[in-house]
Chain A
Amino acid sequence: MKHHISFTINGQSMELTVLSHQTLLEVIRNDLRLTGAKHGCSTGECGACSVIMNGEVVNACMVLAPEVDGTDILTVEGLSDGEELHPLQKSFIDHHGVQCGYCAPGMLISAKALLSRTSRPHEEEIREALVGNLCRCGAYADIIKSIQVASRARR
């Protein structure tokens, strides 16, 4: 079954025709060619596909495309301001928050969702916010440090 949906993604309005059984992840990667969000597990466990939907972090592999109608989506591509990287992105580069990088888009999105609620999170709050993001390289310590430094640097 086809659905005509309209939504905003990274600040841009978008209209698309999607199928009932497509996921948000398929739409952003295949139709919109925004390949930042990654496919890891399709079971909601890894968080590599994390995006922000109406201000809240969700797994894009677990959202059906027709459910996206009328929502506001932010993917990792929407974090930077043109060529200017987001402070979180800079910090991930400076503090080695990226090893192979597969988890990084999801980690950045979860961190962004956290920082929009809590501007100076404790380490425990950062860990809680990342419970749904797995890093197969085990770079957690550097990821947490990157987020901590970025949150301190803000204002």
Chain B
Amino acid sequence: METRDLKPFHYIRPESLQEAGRYLASEEAVKLLGGGNTLLLQIRSGQESPDILLDVKHLPGFGDVRYHHNQGLKLGAAVNLQHLVVGLEIRRHYPLLHQTAQKLASPQVRNRATIGGTLAWASPISELAAAMLCYDAVCHTWSPRGHREIPLAEFYLGDYQTALARDEIITHVHLPPFPNRTYGIYHRQTVRHDGRRMIAGAAVLAYRKQQALTHWRIAVLGMDNRPKRIPDAEAVLEGTPGEAEIARALEIVQEQIHPADVDYARADYRRASLNALLKQAITEVIHHLQSIRS
């Protein structure tokens, strides 16, 4: 069979973080293995040639999912993306996460892809990152130097770089609790139905406090070298946004993005696409929140 064979490496399943840490401290080229959806491609293409793959899916606590109305949501790094589609606590309390995961890739990919591997992947078109940014997610990590908390907003450095050190492992991600009257929408335009070849993507979230719409979040994909929020545009929408505020927010977004030409869409087309998706998402969030009876 002519598969593109994987270059030989050692597969190791550590039982504890300390054991994983010992491998990470060695001289060998070590990569952490989640679902392998990105990593195995990188090995096949020669972009990565690790000596050791550390399968972190079986580490203690990595499969945990916990929700508490005062504490929010904890998702272990090895929880798969399909859980975001089917998990009841996700559907009920973090619907934007559910909605985004439902569109992401395919059942085959989602059943394997992990929260940790997906966040660490740091692609400018990472759809999970967009939803997680809207929910103020915080990455919890471990390295031989101890535990660390990194807000996702500070996690992506651009060009596929993250704030993770070479020997640092995402253990779980934490999302704060959100009021019941929180609503989010994710829209995207892609060439392929499985999400490949993204032209633009936009996630929007807000909640209602009495009559005011507050805590606006706007995250855009494919517009820069990393998934990013546009806080200046979010600020304009605070309160009771009307057409003028929406127009102003969209204008600010356009000023703060730098989409590139790609072989399937020109930069100006991607800008126009984002504008349309974002306008639709903001309008839908406003309508939904205003239609809730007080």
| Segment of B104-112, B262-270, B279-287 engaged in the interface with chain A | B104-112
A44 and B41 form a contact (CB under 8 A): yes
B contact residues around A110 at 8 Å (CB): 107-108
Find B109's partner among A1, A21, A59, A113 (CB 8 Å cutoff): A59
Chain B interface size band reads 20 to 34
0/1 interface trace, chain B 1-30, chain A, CB 8 Å (1 if under) = 111111111110100000000000000000
Q: Which residue of B lies closest to A132 (CB)?
A: B106
Question: In this assembly, does B230 line the interface, its C-beta being within 8 Å of a C-beta of chain A?
Answer: no
- B63 an interface residue at 8 Å Cβ cutoff? no
Given the complex, which residues of A lie within 8 Å of B11, measured CB to CB? 1, 3, 20-21, 64, 66-67
- Nearest-neighbour CB distance to chain B for A2, whole angstroms, equals 10
Q: Is the CB of A44 within 8 A of B2?
A: no
The answer on a CB contact under 8 Å between A39 and B193 is: no
Contact of B196 among A45, A57, A129 (CB under 8 A): A45
> How would you classify the secondary structure of chain B's contact residues: helix, strand, loop or mixed?
loop
- Compute the total of residue contacts between A and B using a CB distance below 8 Å: 89
Distance (Å) between the CB of A22 and the closest chain B CB? 8
Sample (19) of A-B pairs whose CB atoms are under 8 Å apart: A1-B11, A20-B11, A21-B8, A21-B11, A23-B3, A23-B6, A39-B1, A39-B2, A43-B41, A44-B41, A47-B106, A58-B111, A62-B35, A62-B37, A63-B112, A110-B108, A129-B107, A131-B106, A132-B109
Excluding A22-B6, A42-B44, 15 further A-B contacts by CB distance (< 8 Å) are A20-B11, A21-B5, A21-B6, A42-B3, A43-B44, A44-B108, A47-B106, A59-B112, A62-B35, A62-B40, A63-B36, A64-B36, A131-B106, A131-B107, A132-B106
